[in-house]
Amino acid sequence: MLPDQTYRFEAELWLYPGEKASWHFITVPAEISHQIRFLAGKTQGFGSIRIRARTGATRWDTSLFPDKASGCYFLPVKAMVRKAENVTAGDRVGFEIMLG
């Protein structure tokens, strides 16, 4: 089990590339991703980590997904979150993620 830990940062919201793509993500900064990886240790499956996320006044439960190429985690940002916070791909947005 991960210890309780909270991280705050700003990141650019981006649209997953590909035909008919609709998934939006942010990339967790490298330093924070490395700290999370260290705290998580060995993970199940393909390395996803359950978290609680917040941007603005909107909170949601989700998972971080590892990206082998960058060594960072990706955080999916649901349509209901983007709509509630009036954000779109290319916007720089403040996020909070909570482990544990």
How many separate domains does the chain show? 1
Closest of 72, 4, 87, 90 to residue 34, by C-alpha:
72
| Amino acid in the structure at residue 64 | L
What is the SS3 assignment for 42? coil
In this predicted structure, what is the pLDDT of residue 83?
A: 97
**CATH number of residue 30's parent domain:** 2.40.30.100
Per-residue pLDDT of the chain (100 residues; tens, 9 = 90+): 567 899 999 999 999 887 777 899 999 999 999 999 988 877 767 889 999 999 999 999 999 999 999 999 999 999 999 999 999 999 999 999 999 7
In this predicted structure, what is the pLDDT of residue 100?
A: 77
In this predicted structure, what is the pLDDT of residue 55?
A: 97
What domain range is 77 assigned to? 5-99
Centroid of chain to Cα 74: 5
In this predicted structure, what is the pLDDT of residue 4?
A: 85
Asked if 12 contacts 26 with a C-beta cutoff of 8 angstroms, the reply is: yes
